[in-house]
Amino acid sequence: VKSIASQENISVQELDSIKGSGADGRLNKDDLLSYIANRTGNKINAAPAEATPQQQPVAEVKTSPAPAAVPSKTSTTSVSGGDEIIEMDRMRKLIADHMVMSKTTSPHVTSFVEADVTNMVLWRNKVKNTFEKRENEKITFTPIFVEAVAKAIKDFPMINVSVNGTQIIKKRDINIGMAAALPSGNLIVPVIKNADQLNLVGLTKAVNDLAVRARTSKLKPDETQGGTFTLTNVGSFGNVMGTPIINQPQVAILAVGSIKKKPAVLETEHGDVIAIRHMMFLSLSYDHRVVDGSLGGMFVRRVADYLENWDFNREI
């Protein structure tokens, strides 16, 4: 016993503190080997004056259980007598799991750009009645945003990728999902397939059709799959900007804010002037594993450029 204690650097005081199973509590070889095997969990400590370098890790191990207490802490929610407990439905559970998974999978970064969309707003106001009469469709800002995003993706194709382990999968098709709120309060993302191949009329019809069928639960399963980029219109709720969570396995999502009239400085050949302009914010959240700040910043700036440089004389 003493030989083993010496090899394991067990002090005399520590040895005396171990309970034996032999006659009169005598410590035998099996007792000591069992103690050594469970040493990291042993609650008996030698006096500080007798501590040796080999014993120091035992003291450090005591602090390691602290992180394990975190989950139980976060899972405990107090409920008072007047509170109502609402069980998540299946869709809300799926959304919750997907959002948590996305945040733990992708290091999120968000870049913001303010855009002067005056020409775009005035153009839509000019053509919306004619457009509706001719196409039997109302033109909103959403198809215009989708068109700008599709163009910008062609300029910066590395936004249109997904990640598989250490592989980056560059997508051939540009399939843009548009987040749509449901009457139940849940969220669904129908996808406009090959959005870059549709003109503005085609995009308008696709947006309106998917939005209506999303609200009435008439979407087909494949119409919510295959997205390569997502657009969410937080402006429809009066919000000026947002920091959306990436829709995995995509690597970027664009939030468009509400359009507000604001005073802005315009540069003219006669000097700077202040004018009332239609302004909005674009917010791009992206996966910093594969999209650096330069790419994310240039992409959202390019989307803004397409919106700002809208041709007021464009034919419908």
Q: Among the options 98, 108, 278, 288, which is catalytic?
A: 288
Contacts of 154 (CB under 8 A, 6+ apart): 174, 196
- Would you state the torsion angle of the CA atoms of residues 223, 225, 228, 229, taken in this order, to the nearest 10 degrees? 60
Active site residue 98: no
Strand partners, 313: none
Both structure tokens of 18: 């171990």
Q: Among the options 98, 292, 305, 311, which is catalytic?
A: 292
Contacts of 59 (CB under 8 A, 6+ apart): 45, 51
Q: Which residue has the tokens 């494949």?
A: 222
Task: Let me know: does 288 contact 108? Beta carbons within 8 Å.
Answer: yes
Active site residue 155: no
Distances (CA, A) of 49 to 11, 13, 17, 19: 11, 10, 15, 22
Residues involved in catalysis: 288, 292
